[in-house]
């Protein structure tokens, strides 16, 4: 699995209410993506940044989820293009579910 961090700049004056509305509007699109395992929608108004932290089965799956149409949607909505970082994620500790995933365990 991989973790992908996607960040983009926010226009000056962006409010928490606007971000919550944008995030809510995007829920169906992400819920309908069968490859995405998890998404955390994030923003920091003080730094003027927003984006998401995703868990995917592979970098290729992440790139399919964040294609050129996604880039253009972010550009049209927020006025900036996203940046992408990918991290190998071999261990996940999920305290809420009381579960642990360790790649190639047992």
Say what the pLDDT of residue 104 is: 63
CB of 14 closer than 8 Å to CB of 48:
yes
Residue 80 backbone class (left: φ over 0; alpha: ψ -120 to 50; beta: rest): beta
Domain count, the chain: 1
Those residues with Cβ within 8 angstroms of residue 36's Cβ, 6 or more apart along the chain or in another chain: 30, 54, 55, 56, 61, 65
pLDDT by 10s per residue, the chain, length 106? 999 999 999 999 999 999 999 999 999 999 999 999 999 999 999 999 999 999 999 999 999 999 999 999 999 999 999 999 999 999 999 999 999 999 865 4
Q: By the 8 A CB rule, do 5 and 82 touch?
A: no
Domain ranges, residue 58: 2-102
Query: How confident is the model at residue 103, as a pLDDT?
Result: 87
Q: What is the pLDDT of residue 64?
A: 97
> CB neighbours (10 Å) of residue 23?
16
3-class DSSP state for residue 32? coil
- Indicate which CATH number applies to the domain containing 15: 3.30.70.100
């Amino acid at each position: 699995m991989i973790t992908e961090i996607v960040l983009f700049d926010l226009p000056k004056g962006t409010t928490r209410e606007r971000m919550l509305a944008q995030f809510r509007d995007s829920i169906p699109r992400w819920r309908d993506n069968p490859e995405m395992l998890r998404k955390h929608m994030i923003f920091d108004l003080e730094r003027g940044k927003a984006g998401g932290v995703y868990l995917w089965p592979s970098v290729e799956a992440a790139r399919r989820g964040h294609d050129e149409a996604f880039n253009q949607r972010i550009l049209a909505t927020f006025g900036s293009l996203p940046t992408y970082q990918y991290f190998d994620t071999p261990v996940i500790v999920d305290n809420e579910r009381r579960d642990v995933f360790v790649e190639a365990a047992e």
